[in-house]
């Protein structure tokens, strides 16, 4: 029998693509055998692809094993399809066959699909072992395809540092490669209830800034961004509160008629919520053509951190009416909404409904939110009991929340218990000592405050400085407490003197009990006036138009004095001032705050 030369338009191959069942596939397979088409590599690769989706695995493997010369190309074809269809163990078994066959050697097309499968399952150790095989069989490693797959694998497993190494090895990254590294940084900085909602740490901020830097490089390389690119960019802008850059991304989407899918929609809702533009977030949410659970979660979260607890709960009810089942993130957002407006009974009820009605097992983040809810309401003892009776070991976030509540409500006993546990969990974190010292200072127990400070000194710990960011004309300006390093420091301090004078004229008296040192009242007032958010607000009043809202991001909780003075400043200067601290948003307008003094 004479074999035929296969071509793409050969009738049997066309028939193969139309197969919808295993029975039909077997009939086409028989024709390929009788015509000799099965003797050629390309037709075999085609039937392997179709068979992997319609046939038992044993049948597909039999086709490969009976090929006249089962090449590495055929093995790679089937490994890729098996990995894509989540049959990873079968793909690995086939890879083992390659290693055992002296006539076969893995090449640069063998590994990418395996790394992709490992990334989806976050099988880090398996991926590391496979990486060693890459170094053994592919040397030198200059293949963009393999490097990109390694980049994606390590980024998906949270190892952004290694992913960045591979990115820097690629001479001309394509769109997929840019998206991988941008998404890696965005994931490590992304706003999420799974992280400590009180902590905007340096690593998170630097990851977000790196997204903006890399995106600038991408633009200069003339690679056009896609929806995936813009989700990463908007996520970073949301974390930084970089509203101008986020609006640019939104405008780019509209101008280039990109799809406003639920991924982009969720990112934009988070951006506007995090930037104090809750009205824009609401408007966008209602304009989305399709809203899924992620969109609802983002909008409920935005309402929650803005203090619109009742509206957040109403939206939760709307979500359920639309047939969407809440997940653990939804319940965390709902409990957060209750916490920020003091809806204690409702918060307790939603916590209990997680298991009894929704079939969700509370995670440590939900217990943290419950403790925060109770602590804010002054139920410090109940909050402590919840921590001690929870089914998992409490982490530092819970004890820190209890310590904060103990400080606010003057419960020294609970505060000392919390600090003892925090020191065991985070011996090198200064914030816990500072909170307890603050509590002692608040009740004028200066000796105890000094004792805690001495403990910090003995441990070699220093208080994290207060830091505030303010955006002016698309640029982020950072101020530390007492900072004089800004190029316009002279103007800032002149404006600060004016602000302090006007505050006194309007009857403001500094809340000096917030100051942690046993010093004279006049010195305490001076210390308060140089807090980082005061400097940021002063700069914004100097550098922006009088009708522009002032938007400040602070790394620490706003102190009582800064809160009361900012309310008054919004009235004196007729400016909207939006402050995002490590816990929530404060929208100051006409002498009042959106939190209604409950924070």
Length of the chain as a residue count: 599
Number of other CB atoms surrounding residue 349 within 10 Å: 12
**Of 438, 446, 376, residue with least CA distance to 407:** 438
Picking from 578, 579, 563, 556, the residue whose alpha carbon sits closest to that of residue 200 is 556
Residue 6 falls inside a structural domain: no
Q: How far apart are CA 291 and CA 68, in angstroms?
A: 53
For the chain, the distance separating the N- and C-terminal CA atoms, rounded to the nearest angstrom, is 85
User: What are 288's strand-pairing partners?
Assistant: none
Q: Is residue 360 part of a domain?
A: no
pLDDT of residue 520: 37
Q: How many helices (H) and strands (E) does the chain have?
A: 30, 6
| pLDDT in single tens digits along all 599 residues of the chain | 444 454 556 788 888 888 999 999 999 999 999 988 898 899 999 999 999 889 999 999 999 989 888 899 999 999 999 888 888 888 888 899 999 988 899 988 898 888 888 887 778 888 888 899 988 888 766 677 888 888 889 988 888 999 999 899 888 899 989 999 999 999 887 544 333 334 444 556 678 889 999 999 999 999 999 999 999 999 999 888 788 899 999 999 999 988 889 999 999 999 999 888 899 999 999 999 889 999 999 999 999 988 899 999 999 999 999 999 999 999 999 999 999 888 999 999 999 999 999 999 999 999 999 999 999 899 999 999 999 999 999 998 899 889 888 878 888 888 889 888 887 887 777 766 776 777 777 667 778 778 877 877 777 766 667 788 888 887 889 898 888 889 999 999 999 999 999 999 988 876 655 554 433 333 334 445 678 899 999 999 999 998 888 989 888 778 888 888 999 999 999 999 989 887 778 889 899 888 777 66
What 8-state DSSP symbol labels residue 378?
T
Identify whether residues 198 and 150 lie together within a single domain.
Answer: no
* pLDDT at residue 368 in the model: 92
In a domain, 17, yes or no: yes
Q: Is 424 found in the same domain as 559?
A: no
Helix 412-425 / helix 396-409 crossing angle, nearest 10 deg: 160
For 249, other C-beta atoms within 10 Å of its C-beta total: 23
Report yes or no on 40 lying in a domain: yes
Q: How many domains does the chain have?
A: 4
Same domain, 413 and 480: no
Look-up of token digits 């590599």:
41
Q: For strand 475-480 and strand 550-554, is the pairing parallel, antiparallel, or unpaired? A: unpaired
Strands 577-580 and 467-472, bridge-based pairing: unpaired
Q: Among 262, 283, 304, give the residue marking a domain's end.
A: 283
Q: What is the pLDDT of residue 481?
A: 81
Question: What is residue 196's predicted lDDT score, i.e. its pLDDT?
Answer: 39
Question: Coil, helix or strand for 113?
Answer: helix
Q: Are residues 575 and 490 in the same domain?
A: yes
Report d(CA 552, CA 578) in Å as an integer: 6
Q: How far is Cα 554 from Cα 579, in angstroms, rounded to an integer? A: 7
**Are 522 and 417 within one domain?**
no
Q: Which of 252, 283, 314 is the last residue of a domain?
A: 283
Quote the DSSP letter at residue 581.
-
52 and 190 fall within a common domain = no
181 and 122 fall within a common domain: no
Same domain, 479 and 458: no
Q: Which residues contact 554 (CB under 8 A, 6 or more apart)?
A: 466, 467, 468, 469, 532, 533, 536, 579, 580, 581, 582
Same domain, 397 and 419: yes
DSSP helix/strand/coil, 548? coil
Q: Which domain does 221 fall in, by range? A: 172-283
Residue ending a domain, choose from 124, 157, 190 = 157
* In a domain? residue 379: no
Asked if residue 455 is part of any domain, the answer here is yes
pLDDT digits (tens, 9 = 90+) for 29-80: 999 999 888 988 999 999 999 998 899 999 999 999 898 888 999 999 999 9
Same domain, 450 and 553: no
Task: Centre a 10 Å sphere on the Cβ of residue 38 and count the other Cβ atoms it contains.
Answer: 21
Place of tokens 């109940």: 382
Residue 240, CA distances (Å) to 224, 538, 553 in order:
24, 20, 8
So what's the pLDDT on residue 164?
92
pLDDT at 316 (0 to 100): 97
Could you give the CA distance from residue 418 to residue 344 in angstroms, rounded to a whole number?
Answer: 22
**CA-atom Rg of the chain in angstroms:** 30
pTM: 0.77
**Contact assessment for residue 188 and residue 204, using Cβ atoms and an 8 Å cutoff:** yes
Please answer whether residues 542 and 491 qualify as being in contact, where contact means their C-beta atoms are separated by less than 8 angstroms.
Answer: yes
375 falls within a domain = no
Tell whether 89 and 221 lie within a shared domain.
no
Q: Are residues 32 and 133 in the same domain?
A: yes
- 300/119 Cα distance (integer angstroms): 30
Residues 182-208 pLDDT 10s = 999 998 875 443 333 344 445 566 788
pLDDT at 526: 44
CATH of the domain at 441: 1.25.40.10
Q: What is the pLDDT of residue 203?
A: 55
Q: Which residues pair with 475 in a beta bridge?
A: 472
Residue 349 maps to a domain: no
Task: Give bridge partners of residue 468 from the DSSP assignment.
Answer: 479, 554
């Amino acid at each position: 029998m004479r074999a035929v030369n296969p071509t793409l338009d050969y009738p049997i191959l066309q028939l193969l693509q139309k197969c919808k069942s295993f029975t039909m596939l077997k009939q086409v397979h028989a024709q390929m055998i009788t015509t000799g088409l099965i003797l050629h590599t390309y037709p075999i690769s085609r039937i392997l692809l179709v068979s992997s989706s319609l046939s038992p695995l044993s049948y597909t493997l039999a086709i490969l094993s009976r090929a006249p010369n089962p090449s590495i190309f055929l093995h790679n074809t089937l490994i890729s399809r098996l990995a894509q269809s989540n049959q990873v163990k079968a793909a690995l078994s086939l890879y083992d066959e390659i290693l055992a066959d002296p006539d076969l050697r893995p090449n640069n097309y063998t590994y990418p699909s395996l790394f992709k499968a490992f990334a989806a399952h976050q099988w880090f150790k398996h991926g590391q072992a496979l990486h060693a095989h890459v170094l053994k069989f592919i040397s030198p490693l200059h293949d963009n395809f393999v490097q990109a797959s390694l980049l994606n694998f390590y980024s998906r497993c949270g190892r952004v540092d290694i992913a960045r190494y591979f990115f820097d090895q690629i001479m001309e990254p394509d769109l997929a490669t840019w998206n991988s590294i941008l998404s890696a940084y965005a994931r490590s900085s992304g706003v999420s209830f799974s992280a400590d909602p009180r902590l905007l740490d340096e690593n998170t901020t630097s990851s977000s800034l790196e997204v903006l830097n890399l995106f600038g490089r991408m633009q200069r390389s003339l690679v056009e961004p896609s929806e995936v690119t813009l989700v990463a960019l908007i996520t970073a802008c949301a974390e930084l509160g970089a509203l101008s850059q986020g609006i640019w991304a939104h405008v780019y989407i509209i101008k280039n008629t990109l799809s406003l899918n639920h991924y982009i929609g969720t990112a934009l809702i988070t951006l506007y919520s995090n930037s104090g533009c809750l009205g824009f977030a609401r408007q966008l949410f209602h304009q989305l053509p399709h809203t899924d659970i992620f969109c609802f979660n983002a909008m409920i979260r935005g309402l929650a951190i803005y203090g619109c607890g009742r509206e957040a709960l109403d939206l939760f009810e709307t979500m359920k009416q639309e047939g969407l089942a809440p997940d653990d993130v939804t319940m965390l957002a709902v409990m957060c909404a209750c916490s920020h407006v003091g809806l204690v009974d409702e918060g307790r009820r939603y916590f209990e409904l997680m298991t009894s009605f929704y079939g969700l097992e509370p995670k440590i983040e939900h217990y943290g939110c419950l403790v925060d809810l109770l602590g804010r309401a002054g139920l410090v003892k109940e909050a402590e009991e919840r921590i001690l009776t929870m089914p998992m070991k409490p982490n530092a976030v819970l004890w820190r929340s209890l310590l904060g509540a103990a400080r606010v409500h003057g419960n020294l006993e609970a505060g000392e218990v919390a600090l003892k546990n925090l020191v065991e969990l985070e011996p090198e974190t200064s914030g816990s000592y500072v909170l307890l010292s603050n509590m002692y200072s608040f009740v004028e127990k200066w000796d105890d405050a000094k004792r805690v400070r001495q403990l910090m000194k003995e441990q070699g710990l220093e208080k994290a400085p207060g830091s505030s960011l303010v955006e002016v004309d698309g640029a982020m300006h950072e101020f530390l407490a007492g900072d004089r390093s800004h190029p316009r420091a002279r103007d800032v301090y002149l404006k600060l003197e004016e602000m302090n004078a006007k505050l006194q004229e309007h009857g403001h008296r500094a809340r000096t009990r917030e100051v942690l040192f046993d010093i004279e009242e006049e010195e305490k007032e001076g210390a308060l006036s140089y807090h980082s958010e005061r400097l940021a607000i002063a700069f914004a009043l100097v550098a922006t138009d009088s009708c522009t809202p002032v938007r400040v991001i602070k790394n620490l909780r706003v102190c009582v004095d800064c809160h009361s003075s900012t309310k008054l400043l919004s009235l004196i200067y007729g400016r909207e001032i939006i402050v995002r601290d490590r816990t929530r948003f404060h929208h100051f307008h006409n002498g009042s705050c959106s939190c209604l003094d409950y924070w």
